């Protein structure tokens, strides 16, 4: 009998869309791993964002009609919600993988984990209590340097939603997770999170790429992810 890998459920950042994961989904499929790529953008346009995201996530996985257990892979800001996502499913969850992602901070808000200076910046650039698209948080030259393909960059930016500022003030869910977890670091900005994961005893892999490398270097990220999953 041939062992079939668990289905990998790819969960994009609340501030981006599934275009950041489409190349990785194709690469994982080529490795023989069944994949579900979610689109949760409809859930982030009004508060309470966390609650709406969890509900949309559970509905989307149910609609995917997955056979067997799943592994949840959360990128960036989706990381803190992975335990709550797992708890919302009737489908068995085999593991959580944090992909260049923040770790859970149960009961604490995004605002409590940001520096006061960054929170002040987010208030300054928000209009009518709505944050601008993620790419507008940074100088205009930053993202083209990471994603040199103009068509791919345009697709990613077109999907980026505007999220209520209230999202940063909402308490993150306090949901326990006792199953396996792992961390795959893509960028230097998430070194502290990877270090914290290693201190928790999780398997950790590190690639010196960049935060959106799942879109631009899908083969490398897929290979590292498959190797990491084998350790779980």
**Average pLDDT of span 197-221:** 98
**Average pLDDT of span 197-204:** 98
CB within 8 A of 138, min separation 6: which ones? none
Residues facing 8 on adjacent strands = 35, 71
Q: Is the pTM of this model over 0.75?
A: yes
| pLDDT exceeds 60 at position 2 | no
Residues facing 205 on adjacent strands = 184
Domain boundaries 7-107+173-231, CATH class: alpha beta
Minimal CA–CA distance to 229: which of 55, 117, 98, 83? 98
Say what the pLDDT of residue 3 is: 67
Say what the pLDDT of residue 52 is: 96
Say if CB 163 and CB 41 are below 8 A apart.
Answer: no
Taking the alpha carbons of 140, 141, 142, 144 in that order, is the dihedral positive or negative? positive
pLDDT in tens, 140-166: 899 999 999 999 999 999 999 999 999
| pLDDT exceeds 70 at position 130 | yes
pLDDT in tens, 28-64: 999 999 999 999 999 999 999 999 999 999 999 999 9
| pLDDT exceeds 60 at position 1 | no
Minimal CA–CA distance to 37: which of 194, 206, 218, 181? 218
The whole-angstrom separation of Cα 68 and Cα 205 is 26
Alpha helices (H) in 67-115, listed in sequence order: 82-87, 110-113
Residues facing 204 on adjacent strands = 183
Question: Phi and psi at residue 164, in whole multiples of 5°?
Answer: -60, 140
Interior CA angle at 117 toward 112 and 118, to 5°?
A: 65
pLDDT in tens, 159-196: 999 999 999 999 999 999 999 999 999 999 999 999 99
- Tell me the Cα Rg of the chain: 17
Say what the pLDDT of residue 220 is: 98
Say what the pLDDT of residue 76 is: 96
Say what the pLDDT of residue 127 is: 92
Say if CB 205 and CB 228 are below 8 A apart.
Answer: yes
Minimal CA–CA distance to 21: which of 156, 134, 118, 183? 156
Say what the pLDDT of residue 116 is: 87
Cβ atoms < 10 Å from Cβ of 189: 12
Which pLDDT band holds residue 66 (cuts at 50, 70, 90)?
Answer: very high
Say if CB 109 and CB 168 are below 8 A apart.
Answer: yes
Say what the pLDDT of residue 114 is: 81
**Average pLDDT of span 221-229:** 97
Which pLDDT band holds residue 71 (cuts at 50, 70, 90)?
Answer: very high
Residues facing 182 on adjacent strands = 97
Which pLDDT band holds residue 113 (cuts at 50, 70, 90)?
Answer: confident
């Amino acid at each position: 009998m041939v062992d079939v890998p668990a289905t990998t459920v790819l969960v994009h950042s609340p501030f981006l869309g599934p275009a950041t994961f489409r190349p990785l989904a194709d690469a994982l499929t080529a490795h023989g791993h069944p994949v579900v790529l979610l689109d949760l953008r409809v859930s982030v346009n009004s508060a309470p964002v966390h609650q709406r995201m969890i509900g949309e996530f559970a509905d989307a996985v149910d609609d995917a009609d997955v056979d067997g257990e799943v592994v949840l892979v959360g990128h960036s800001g989706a990381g803190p919600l992975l335990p709550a996502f797992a708890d919302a499913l009737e489908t068995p969850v085999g593991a959580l993988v944090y992909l260049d992602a923040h770790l859970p901070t149960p009961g604490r808000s995004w605002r409590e984990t940001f520096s006061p200076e960054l929170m002040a910046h987010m208030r300054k650039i928000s209009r009518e209590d709505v944050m601008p698209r993620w790419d507008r948080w940074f100088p205009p030259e930053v993202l083209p340097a990471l994603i040199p393909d103009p068509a791919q960059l345009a697709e990613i930016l077109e999907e980026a939603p505007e999220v209520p500022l209230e999202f940063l003030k909402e308490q993150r869910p306090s949901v326990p997770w006792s199953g396996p977890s792992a961390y795959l670091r893509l960028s230097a900005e998430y070194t502290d999170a990877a270090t914290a994961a290693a201190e928790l005893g999780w398997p950790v892999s590190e690639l010196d790429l960049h935060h959106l490398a799942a879109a631009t270097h899908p083969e490398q990220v897929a290979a590292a992810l498959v190797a990491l999953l084998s350790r779980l």
